[in-house]
Amino acid sequence: MQYKSFFKNNACALLICKNDPYSTIVEANDAFYKMVGYSRESMEQIHKNRFSNIVCDELIDILDKVSNAINKGDSLDYEYRICNQKGETLWIHDIATYDPVSDQFYVVIMDITYRQIALESVSKVANIDNLTGLLNRSHLEEKITQEIESLKGPSSFAMCLIDLDNFKAINDSFGHLIGDHVLATMGEKLSVLFESNYIIGRLGGDEFAVFLTNIDSIETLSGIAQTIVDSLVFEFRGVVVSASVGVYFDKSGTYDFNSMYEAADKALYCVKNKEKGKFDIQFSNTV
C-alpha cells in the first residue's frame, strides 16, 4: 500500500515499462499523464501504451543505450525529446533502472524543457553580435570551419571581407550612437541581401565577413562583390559611408578560416590603398 501511494502521488512522472522495442507502459502515475496530456484511455487507444510512439528522437540510438545499460547492469540516465498530446516537443530527463527478474524498467521522468529553452537562449546570445544581430567573430569562425569540413568532393568557396569607408568620420562627427546605428543598418542590409544562403557575421569594429559556397566562376563572384558595394551605402548629414570588399576565391578546398581570412585581407588592403568603395578578388592558382 505504501509503495502504491508513493507511485500514484509522486510529483515526478513514474513509469513501469516492458523491455521490448516499444517500451510498452505497464503502469504510469497521474503525473506522467498530466505531463504528456493523454489520459490512460487515450494512451491505450491511440498509442497502444507504446511509450516509443511519443518519442521524437532517433529510437535506434535510445535502444542502443538501453541495450548497453542492460549488458553492463547500469541505470539509464539520459535526455531526449518526446511529443505531448498537443504535438508540442518536451525535453525530458529519464532515469531508468532495469529489473532482470521482471524484465521491466522502473522509470523516473522529469520535464526539463524550461532548462533547454534557457540554455538555447543563452547559447544564441553568446553566438550573436548584439548590435547587428549577425554572427559574432567566434561563432562565425566556428560556422565557416564546420562548413568547409562538411564540403565533400571538388568544392569552391569564397570569403568576402567588408570594411566600411568613412565610418570613423561618422563616429568623430556625430558620436558613437549614430555610429552604432550605421553598423546596425549595414548588418540589416547584409541580412536582407544574403538571407540564409550564406554565412555572414561581424568580425568587430566596422568589419564584416560573408562566406560563400558553390561559386562557379570569377564572374559570378564579381557580381556578388559588386552587389555588396552597391548595397552598403549610408549617408548621414553629408557624410557618405561606403564599403570596400576584399575577396578570396578558392577552388582547391585546402584553405581554412585563418588562411582564407589572411588572403581576403590582402585583397581588402589592395582596395583600401587604391580606390575605396570598390572590390578586389584574389584567387588560388587552381581557379
Amino acid type, 57: D
CB atoms within 10 A of CB 37: 16
Q: What angle do the packed helices 218-231 and 176-194 form, to 10 degrees?
A: 140
Beta strands 279-283; 239-250: pairing state: parallel
How is residue 52 annotated by DSSP?
G
Count the helices and strands in the chain (H runs, E runs).
10, 11
Distance in angstroms (rounded) separating the CA atoms of residues 151 and 148: 5
Distance in angstroms (rounded) separating the CA atoms of residues 281 and 255: 16
How is residue 76 annotated by DSSP?
E
Beta strands 199-204; 25-28: pairing state: unpaired
Residue 117 three-state SS:
helix
Options 129, 206, 250, 280, the catalytic residue: 206
Q: Note whether 188 and 131 are within 8 A (CB).
A: no
How is residue 286 annotated by DSSP?
T
Q: Where are the alpha helices (DSSP H) in 10-112?
A: 30-36, 40-47, 59-72
Beta strands 199-204; 207-213: pairing state: antiparallel
Beta bridge partners of 142: none
C-alpha of 114 from chain center? 18
Q: Is residue 64 among the annotated active site residues? A: no
Catalytic residues: 206
